[in-house]
Amino acid sequence: MKRILKINVINYLVILLIFSSLFFGCSLGNKEKVIMEKTLTFENNNWDFPHQTVNFIEEIPETNAPCKIVLELNHDLNIEPTTLPITVTITSPDGSETSRRASFNFLENVNDSITSCVAFKEKYFNTEGRYKFGLYRKYSKYDLYGVKSITVKVIKQPTDKEKSKLNQN
């Protein structure tokens, strides 16, 4: 009986070890590389109308891979609008601009105080330098109470070569 119990415990531990290594290997392999993250905190939890456009100017390295631009909004759970459209304009060091419309949907995660949205699925930074990220909230001419902060993240996506390496492992 003791021998059978030992074998079952050993089998259990081996299986647990295999699943643990698979889980941690997959989660480490898929870790995103954030190359820029900047947060602006609003006074009195109010994104007021005079500041409906906020700007972040950051040094971005040249990337040979596409990047995803993600916005995160930290807000009160009872924020008034159900959606919040944002126009994101990225100005490169040479002055050229790229704009996209993104939208926060507060109905998707009603129990979470951080809502995120993807502004650009694929954005290349072909030139190293200072980039300006302009965020224009397209919500009425009134103050927007309940917004604590907004964060912009530039996340480098794996290249095809890096993806194939991950798939081989």
Q: Residue 145: CA atoms inside 13 Å, Cβ hemisphere, count?
A: 3
Residue 39 has pLDDT above 80, yes or no: yes
CATH 1.10.3720.10 fits 32-161, yes or no: no
Decide which of 98 and 12 is more confident.
98
Residue 24 structure tokens? 């941690």
Residue 157 has pLDDT above 50, yes or no: yes
Residue 36 has pLDDT above 90, yes or no: yes
pLDDT, position 99: 97
Residue 13 has pLDDT above 60, yes or no: no
- Quick one: which of 74, 40, 80 has its CA closest to 57? 40
Residue 89 structure tokens? 């304009």
Question: 118 and 86 in contact (C-beta within 8 Å)?
Answer: no
Cα–Cα distances (Å) from 138 to 47, 81, 105, in that order, read: 12, 12, 14
Question: 123 and 67 in contact (C-beta within 8 Å)?
Answer: yes
- Over residues 158-167, mean pLDDT: 70
Residue 141 has pLDDT above 80, yes or no: yes
pLDDT, position 49: 92
Residue 136 has pLDDT above 90, yes or no: yes
Residue 22 has pLDDT above 90, yes or no: no
Mean pLDDT of the chain, nearest integer: 83
pLDDT, position 159: 75
CA–CA separation, 76 vs 147, rounded Å?
A: 7
Question: 92 and 53 in contact (C-beta within 8 Å)?
Answer: no
pLDDT, position 81: 84
